[in-house]
């Protein structure tokens, strides 16, 4: 636990500039003007006609694994036939896994948000398609906004990044109920219960400490999932969820629901598919519904380490089977062949002992004297016969 290491200080500050899913230039969008209980056609690019909206339902069967969407430095075809895209290069040279990033923990009327306050040059970044994106803030949704084959996960974290030219990349991580998440537990109780307070503190590098070990991801072009729904956003969605305890999930849902005049949606019918039960429907939900694809494609990058570890695992299984077969063969050999060998040995030794005698017997039975008798017989017979005559 790193409570002692956290420099926690409460400050009274306005909520401007920390809008959920937004970055600085969209800070003017008033938090009070939109809710999760209504449609957003009147806001910015939220109208369906703008196209290219997020979130989406990722239909894994529709992904063309041979299409790399023009992402540069694509590499060879993987062993399972997946076309491997350029790896997601993450900044671990500048920021070691243990290094602390100065942050502010804030609550708005839509979510909890961790705003990066680290000095320039020390901010975590992602390199994507030869462009560098700095981490601006990260926040959460429950249930998840993006879905996979129509199924939500319990939560989704959005790491909002911005490049120097203003373009935005969101790294999304699914959260699924399971074991307690130790990364989140370091700051999960620091979020204020009102929108006027910002708690100062620190977090460790989320890339090294929070992301799943399996770096496989989907990506597609989309938008902010909140007004003004700005399009042209690169979405990188990690395939494998990380775990969060049900208490942590419910603490988040309760935490955003106690905010006065919050703009969450409650008592949704039917219940959300894919989340872990029990799911308290009186607590607020903050996900935008899946948007039409309108000809867009989803691409996929397979983590080669995962492929390698799968191959390694199968080799291990094969090795174990071979070893087992060897042991069985050895036991079979011992049981079925070893006693026969003893008998043969005894037989051999008896044979060796009797061999000289046999050889002598053979020598006594030399046909030479017998031949004399046999050959002599015809000679006597005519003589005897002739005498009798
Ligand atoms: Zn978001």
pLDDT on residue 46? 92
Element (H, E) at 310: helix 304-364
Q: How confident is the model at residue 102 (pLDDT cuts 50, 70, 90)?
A: very high
Give pairs for 72-79: CB < 8 Å, separation 24+. 72/129, 72/130, 73/130, 78/302, 78/304, 78/307, 79/307, 79/311
Helix (H) or strand (E) holding 175: strand 168-177
Instruction: Measure 151 CA to ligand 1 centroid, in angstroms.
Output: 18
Q: What angle do CA 158, 155, 119 make, to 5 degrees?
A: 30
Which range is least confidently modeled, 156-170, 184-198, 265-279?
A: 265-279
The three-class DSSP label of residue 377 is helix
Average pLDDT, integer, range 62-69: 72
Helix (H, G, I), strand (E, B) or coil at 324: helix
pLDDT of 363 over the 90 cut: no
How far does the centroid of ligand 1 lie from the alpha carbon of residue 287, in Å? 8
pLDDT at position 361 over 60: no
**What pLDDT sits at residue 348?**
52
Residue 220 corresponds to which tokens in the numbers above? Answer: 């597609």
Give the residue from 35, 26, 27 showing the smallest Cα distance to 286. Answer: 35
Q: Average of pLDDT values for 168-172? A: 95
Give the C-alpha distances (Å, rounded to integers) separating 113 from 27, 298, 383.
Answer: 14, 27, 137
Compute the distance between CA of residue 41 and CA of residue 154 in angstroms, rounded to an integer.
27
To the query of whether residue 141 is one of the catalytic residues in this protein, the response is: no
Mean pLDDT lowest among 2-6, 144-148, 208-212, 362-366: 2-6
CATH topology for the 9-302 domain: Carbonic Anhydrase II (3.10.200)
Q: Name the band, by pLDDT with cuts 50, 70 and 90, for residue 189.
A: very high
What are the CA-CA distances from residue 339 to residues 231, 326, 347, 349 (Å)?
A: 82, 20, 13, 16
Instruction: Give the residue among 125, 176, 128 at the shortest CA–CA distance from 148.
Output: 176
Phi, psi of 285 (to 5 degrees): -115, 145
Q: Does position 79 have pLDDT exceeding 50, yes or no? A: no
Ligand 1 centre to CA of 174 (Å) is: 12
What mean pLDDT comes out for the span 49-68?
A: 86
pLDDT at 120 over 60: yes
Q: Is the pLDDT of residue 125 over 60?
A: yes
Q: Between these two residues, 56 and 88, which has the higher pLDDT value?
A: 56
pLDDT for the residue numbered 375: 42
Domain ranges across the chain: 9-302, 316-382
The structure tokens listed for 12 are 């009274």
Expressed in angstroms and rounded, the spacing between residue 313 Cα and the centre of ligand 1 is 36
Q: Is the pLDDT of residue 170 over 80?
A: yes
The percentage of the chain sitting over the pLDDT mark of 70, rounded to a whole number, equals: 69
CA distance 125 to 171: 11
**The two structure tokens encoding residue 14:** 């306005």
pTM for this one? 0.72
pLDDT band (50, 70, 90) for residue 75: very low
Cα 340 from Cα 233, distance rounded (Å): 78
Residue of 110, 139, 141, 152 with catalytic role: 110
Q: How far apart are CA 204 and CA 21, in angstroms?
A: 21
CA of 333 to the centre of ligand 1 (A): 66
Looking at every residue in the chain, the average pLDDT score rounds to 77
Give strand pairing partners of 113: 106, 139
Mean pLDDT confidence for 42-70: 84
Distance in angstroms (rounded) separating the CA atoms of residues 310 and 320: 15
- The percent of residues above 90 in pLDDT, for the chain, comes to 46
301-322 pLDDT per residue, tens: 877 777 666 677 778 888 899 9
SS3 content of the chain, % helix, strand, coil (to 5): 30, 25, 45
- Alpha carbons 100 and 267: distance in angstroms, whole number: 39
Least confident of 47-51, 53-57, 173-177, 380-384: 380-384
What CA–CA distance (Å, rounded) separates 124 from 206? 9
Residues 127-157 pLDDT 10s: 777 778 889 999 999 999 999 999 999 999 9
pLDDT of residue 99: 75
Residue 30, pLDDT > 80, answer: no
Residue-wise pLDDT for 252-281, tens only, equals 999 999 999 999 999 887 789 999 999 999
**What is the enclosing helix (H) or strand (E) of 133?**
strand 131-141
**Per-residue pLDDT at 370 exceeds 70:** no
Is the pLDDT at 388 greater than 60, yes or no? no
How far is Cα 87 from Cα 62, in angstroms, rounded to an integer? 22
pLDDT at 289 over 60: yes
Q: How far is the CA of 172 from the centre of ligand 1 (A)?
A: 8
CA of 64 to the centre of ligand 1 (A): 26
Asked if 86 and 71 count as a contact pair (C-beta separation under 8 A), the reply is yes
Distances (CA, A) of 263 to 34, 87, 155, 256, 283: 7, 38, 18, 10, 12
């Amino acid at each position: 636990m790193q409570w002692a290491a956290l420099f926690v200080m409460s400050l009274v500050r306005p909520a401007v500039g920390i809008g959920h899913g937004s970055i600085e230039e969209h800070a003017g969008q008033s938090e009070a003007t939109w809710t999760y209980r209504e449609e957003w056609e009147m806001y910015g690019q939220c109208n369906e006609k703008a196209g290219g909206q997020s979130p989406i339902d990722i239909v894994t069967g529709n992904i063309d694994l041979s299409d790399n969407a023009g992402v540069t430095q694509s590499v060879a075809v993987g062993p399972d036939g997946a076309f491997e895209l350029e790896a997601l290069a993450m900044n671990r040279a500048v920021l070691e896994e243990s290094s602390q990033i100065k942050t502010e923990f804030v609550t708005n009327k839509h979510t909890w948000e961790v705003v990066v306050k680290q000095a320039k040059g020390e901010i975590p970044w992602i390199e994507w398609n030869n462009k560098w994106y700095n981490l601006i803030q990260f926040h959460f949704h429950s249930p998840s906004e993006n879905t996979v084959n129509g199924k939500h996960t319990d939560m989704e974290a959005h790491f909002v990044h911005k490049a120097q030219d203003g373009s935005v990349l969101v790294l999304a991580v699914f959260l699924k109920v399971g074991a307690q998440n130790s990364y989140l537990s370091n700051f999960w109780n620091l979020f204020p219960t009102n929108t006027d307070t910002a708690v100062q503190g620190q977090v460790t590098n989320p890339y090294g400490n929070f992301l799943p070990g399996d770096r496989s991801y989907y990506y597609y072009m989309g938008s902010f999932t909140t007004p003004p729904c700005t399009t042209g956003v690169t979405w990188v969605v990690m395939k494998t969820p990380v775990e969060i305890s049900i208490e942590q999930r419910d603490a988040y849902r309760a935490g955003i629901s106690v905010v006065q005049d919050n703009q969450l949606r409650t008592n949704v019918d039917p219940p959300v598919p894919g989340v872990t039960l029990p799911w308290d429907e009186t607590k607020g939900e903050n996900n935008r519904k899946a948007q039409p694809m309108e000809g867009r494609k989803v691409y996929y990058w397979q983590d080669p380490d995962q492929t390698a570890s799968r191959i390694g695992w199968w080799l291990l299984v094969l090795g174990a089977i071979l070893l087992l077969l060897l042991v069985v063969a050895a036991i079979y050999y011992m049981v079925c062949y070893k006693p026969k060998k003893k008998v043969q040995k005894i037989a051999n030794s008896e044979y060796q002992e009797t061999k000289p005698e046999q050889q002598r017997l053979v020598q006594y039975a030399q046909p030479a004297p017998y031949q004399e008798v046999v050959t002599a017989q015809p000679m006597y017979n005519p003589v005897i016969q002739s005498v009798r005559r």
